[in-house]
Structure 1
């Protein structure tokens, strides 16, 4: 075992898979010599050469279009989109080409692509470096969408994603690259060095795509969260003393409905928590699933706690984030409902 933060775990997964499979290639803006804007690929070009780790022009459409061709040819490309905000120019290649290739070719060709991209706020990046566009991709059949909340899951899920024959959008919450935060400011909730999930096996291992985890056991209500918001949910439960159960979805598509339903049936109450704007966010899908499968077990309406329906603020981003205070208010409201 080794103690790692999320960035180190991601880099370790990439290193191990490149050593394990010569078909794995990494490319994107500044990922080669510079090692990526967040240093997730630091040292990999020097170790594996410029043919397997290389820089790409500032063309997200071109990056993903090239990755589709590489995947069809037999490689396992891991392209990086430097910030999730800039993934939209590549959306047509992702939704129309990568997601459909296996189906439109009757299984003759595959798109085993893992698209890594940092998402969410926390670095004062403003409107063009802080968005959470995951809901745009959970609507696309043929894709898999992953967002880990800790180093252990990040490494295991990234290895599983690279080995998967379908395209995976691998969202990395940049706010917790170096440690989980409390939602109010830059103070860590728990330093990674003392966080249980920072203990990461040194070799290859897999965390299955499509399986959620119970991040915190409880009986009074269920909070469904993913990425950074898992830590916010846990902090809210600890600060309030409310016996909440926190489900870390880990994978948004395919979604582990079984774990969600089992938890909500047990607690009878559900809060959906995500950083992205509320309207048409992934939380709406979660609330619908809970209503469809748990209606007769619910003791209160499902509540959503999410980002505000405004363009992403720059100076006020820590007020924009759903923090423990907003989650605690929702928990108290839902418990007061008979």
Structure 2
């Protein structure tokens, strides 16, 4: 196999740092048969449009999420289609946005709120953790919090330290929350629909690097390797992808790779680069977790590599590593490996060095195949 060399040109061959107009809703998003080619922006817009058309209790709001259609255009034209009371702008107060959504949910509505960047979600953390996640329990089931908190997350758009973080592990630790991260347009629409219909609060992180289409793990170009072409064909009508069910993106016999979001595609590229017959599992939802799929795969391959963009220490990969060790210890032929971001504040000037890339994944795979040496 001819190995690909990761060059400086590859690092710079990316999307322009334009964080505003990166996609528009397709002309037809509801009804009809068959599928439409969609990127993730369009698929998410289609999910929102379909649910708002079906259920008058579903509404969408957030910072610039009404008239403007969101900084990434995910809520484009929803206000025009569904009116000012269903799709509207909110003040720059993340705490207030989520607090209002919790109150709406308790009274029977199903709000979908947009936090403009995941880095902005921290002011709302107390409301999410202390109120939304606990409402069903503290009220003995009298009230629920059927809210969905959408937020673009991760790096790849040259957004710097306050537009590029991956804080998923801060929410997977909280009992009462569900945490979902799609990796492709098909799953994005189905998972978002499932979250909106769920009676419990969900944190829905949208990988910014994938908004315009799956890529080959090396470039930001929306090319179509593996399942990408298939997964970009999205049904126009409403459908759901169940929470807590992983997808096997590539079957393999030598080693299991666990990843989510952007890192699914990086892992596929890394496995090809290493020449290793890896089984790549897209977790899709982190909570609930498809531990049965993980256990079956690791017991088959005997090895496990976990890939995520967030810093390594206390990242979600640590929880996965513990679960795999607890359930698959006697089947493991090598130590569990993690390929993660640095344990540093997000380094704007070294963004592409910070990301786990195909070469780092390939190195971990080769080491794991060699017993961890």
Superposition TM-score tier, normalisation by shorter sequence: over 0.9
> TM-score under structure 2 normalisation?
0.89
| Cα root mean square deviation, aligned | 1.4
Deviation at 1:187, TM superposition (A): 3.5
Cα deviations by residue, 1:214-259 (Å, 9 ceiling, x for unpaired): 0110000000000000000111122222100001000000111000
- Give the equivalent residue in structure 1 for 2:233: 199
Cα distance in structure 1, aligned partners of 2:230 and 2:276? 22
- Give the equivalent residue in structure 2 for 1:309: 343
Deviation at 1:144, TM superposition (A): 0.4
Does 2:108 align with 1:74?
A: yes
Deviation at 1:180, TM superposition (A): 2.5
Secondary structure in 2 matching 1:316: helix
Residue pair 1:178, 1:192 contacting (<8 A) in 2 also: no
Deviation at 1:189, TM superposition (A): 4.8
Gapped runs of 5+ residues in structure 1?
A: none
Does 2:262 align with 1:225?
A: no
Deviation at 1:30, TM superposition (A): 0.2
Cα deviations by residue, 1:134-169 (Å, 9 ceiling, x for unpaired): 000000000000001001100000000000000000
Residue pair 1:157, 1:207 contacting (<8 A) in 2 also: yes
- Give the equivalent residue in structure 1 for 2:31: none
Residue pair 2:217, 2:268 contacting (<8 A) in 1 also: no
Change (3 A) 1:149 1:193: closer
Point out the more displaced range, 178-187 or 289-298.
178-187
Cα distance in structure 2, aligned partners of 1:318 and 1:34? 31
Residue pair 1:192, 1:198 contacting (<8 A) in 2 also: no
- Give the equivalent residue in structure 2 for 1:320: 354
- Give the equivalent residue in structure 2 for 1:17: 51
Change (3 A) 1:315 1:181: farther
Cα distance in structure 2, aligned partners of 1:315 and 1:185? 18
Residue pair 2:62, 2:114 contacting (<8 A) in 1 also: yes
- Give the equivalent residue in structure 2 for 1:239: 273
Cα distance in structure 2, aligned partners of 1:43 and 1:328? 43
Residue pair 1:158, 1:170 contacting (<8 A) in 2 also: yes
Does 2:173 align with 1:134?
A: no
- Give the equivalent residue in structure 1 for 2:67: 33
Secondary structure in 2 matching 1:300: coil
> TM-score under structure 1 normalisation?
0.98
- Give the equivalent residue in structure 2 for 1:64: 98
Cα distance in structure 2, aligned partners of 1:317 and 1:180? 19
Please show how residues 164-183 of structure 1 align to structure 2 within 5 Å: 164-183=198-217
Cα distance in structure 1, aligned partners of 2:227 and 2:208? 18
Residue pair 2:185, 2:213 contacting (<8 A) in 1 also: no
Deviating beyond 4 angstroms after TM superposition, the runs of 4 or more aligned structure 1 residues are 182-185, 191-194
Deviation at 1:112, TM superposition (A): 0.2
Deviation at 1:32, TM superposition (A): 0.8
Aligned length: 338
Deviation at 1:188, TM superposition (A): 4.0
- Give the equivalent residue in structure 1 for 2:32: none
Of 64, 68, 89 in structure 1, the residue corresponding to residue 123 of structure 2 is 89
Change (3 A) 1:189 1:310: farther
Does 2:337 align with 1:296?
A: no
- Give the equivalent residue in structure 2 for 1:100: 134
